[in-house]
A = this chain, B = another copy of it.
Amino acid sequence: MFQGYSIINGESRKGSGATFHGVDPASGTRLDPAYHCTSLDDLALAAGLAQEASAVYGKLPGRERARFLRHIAAGIESIGAEIVDRAHKETALPEARLKGELARTVNQLRLFATVVEEGSWANARIDPAEPDRKPLPRADIRSLLRPIGPVAVFGSSNFPLAFSVAGGDTASAFAAGNPVIVKAHSAHPGTSELVGQAVSESVRACGLPAGTFALLFGTGAEIGTALVAHPAIKAVGFTGSLSAGKSLMRVAAARPEPIPCFMEMSSANPVFVLPEALRQRGAEIAKGLFGSFTLGVGQFCTKPGLVYLPRNADADAFVALLQTYVGQSSASPMLTQTICRNHHAGIAGRRAHERVKLLAEGAAHASVEGAYATPALFEVSGRALLDDPELALEIFGPSTLIIRYESEEEKLALGRALEGQLTATVHGTGADIAANAPLLAILERKAGRLIANGFPTGVEVCHAMVHGGPYPATSESRMTSVGTQAIYRFVRPVCFQEFPQDALPDELKDENPLGIWRLVNGEFTRAAVPSLAPAGAGKA
């Protein structure tokens, strides 16, 4: 079942580079087989095949792309037990969580299938000719969204399924009509290979060009850098660290042809607990918050890492409850030793900071050195955070930082001092929220998603979701990496002027054969366009 090979041209392909192994983080055990890093020659082969595949796959009707997406979903489900088992071994994430993530992954593929099968997503626009317009006639002008070209996708460490080989980036890039080359995350190579085999089998079963999908392995930055730099690649989807994301952004910008990068990188996810909510529901919120920042050992990009509280007795009680929860907690294995090392370094930095107070910590775990993280709760004054903004940076792992502000002005100043975030949360009654319109206006400019009376972990895959936000949360605040709008990262508009009907894509033909919503003369409609032969066609 596991070969340890890349998948290129529809075949397993042994890399010529170094090898590496998956590791069970809970025990430190090395997992077989050895995975062979993809060679640069094989990468070039995959990229060339993707470019060729693009011309064919990009022209397929939505219903055929939908069939492909559904085939992948079914293929993943059919080996779901094996995938969950291997992912559990490679990540130490609980099986229940992985089963949920698998369900999310296949639902996501099917949601995109529904969207592209229906077809209105393509933003078809038609401004029919106006031959009698004065002073000049108007030409017939029509446009729609077309695939951008082969997309490089980087598997993430913390979502071995939903943001990896057949995760949201891949699903949306495929849905948009693009071949995908995935660089597997080296923390879960076996999971990646299993899912990659399912995708590859779907490529074959659906009769698509073999270059429609490839899976590459590599440790370090070499393969990822070469992939982003390859001229056949036209866009990048990435979920990972700020440093890796920035490094790949530089590679993309330095290409002879720069390409768009959609990096989801870093977010501290501020939570403001407002006074009335604190008074009425403090205990409930504290419990939910503890669950949220320790969920998945704090390894979510939406983990609430900053909690803003007033300086009053309700807040003291809230903090005391959190201290109890944290004090009763214990250590869990993190995804990788690198993540764990970074977590420990971040925690050590807070411990050493003279203005930060450690309020509580869970029980440690020493059985596997450098692999386990213990929940921790810190506190700092609003003033201290304003003086040292680095304290607000994300620390990936099960800790959070309480910030106590002294005044309304300080609260707003703290809001303004925030960098770009994926989410910002307020807990408040209706009265709290109404009284905090200025804070909400600030948060709206800082984050992609505002949450009232909930917790940021748990990102719904739906039409309205925005999993994005200003830099450094992402490299491109104008997009989302979760939800059906994620498809818009991997397309570009193409306009057809005075084209004869039979040379137009179906989305733009007068009779609207796909029955999609279109913007005709600026009005949404599913009606056909009254036929008026373009000037050029009359001469055909």
List A residues at the B interface (Cβ < 8 Å): 54-55, 59, 100, 114-115, 120, 125-127, 135-136, 138-139, 141-143, 146, 148-149, 249-250, 253, 257-260, 280-281, 419-420, 429-431, 433-434, 437, 440-441, 444-445, 447-454, 458, 460, 462-466, 468, 470-472, 475-480, 484-485, 491-500, 502-503, 517, 519, 521-522, 524, 534-537, 539-540
Contact = CB atoms under 8 A, between A and B. Distances in A.
A451 B498 contact: yes
A422 B499 CA distance: 17
A479 B476 CA distance: 14
Contacts of A458: 136
A303 to B, nearest CB: 16
A537 B539 CA distance: 63
Contacts of A257: 419-420, 470-472
B496 A450 contact: yes
Contacts of A127: 460, 462-465
In the A-B complex, the 10 residue pairs with the closest CB atoms: A453-B536, A430-B540, A466-B495, A125-B464, A449-B495, A127-B462, A451-B497, A143-B464, A127-B464, A141-B464
A136 B537 CA distance: 55
Contact of A450 (B419, B485, B495): B495
Contacts of A499: 433, 450, 452
Contact of A149 (B100, B445, B537): B445
A503 B433 contact: yes
A258 B253 CA distance: 11
Given A471-B257, A478-B148, A496-B450, A502 B434 contact: yes
A220 B540 CA distance: 51
Given A260-B478, A448-B493, A491-B478, A503 B453 contact: no
Contact of A471 (B54, B142, B258): B258
Contact of A478 (B449, B468, B493, B536): B493
Contacts of A484: 522
Given A452-B534, A452-B536, A453-B539, 8 more contacts: A54-B445, A115-B522, A127-B460, A127-B462, A138-B460, A430-B540, A466-B495, A480-B495
A503 B443 CA distance: 13
Nearest to A503: B433
Nearest to A536: B453
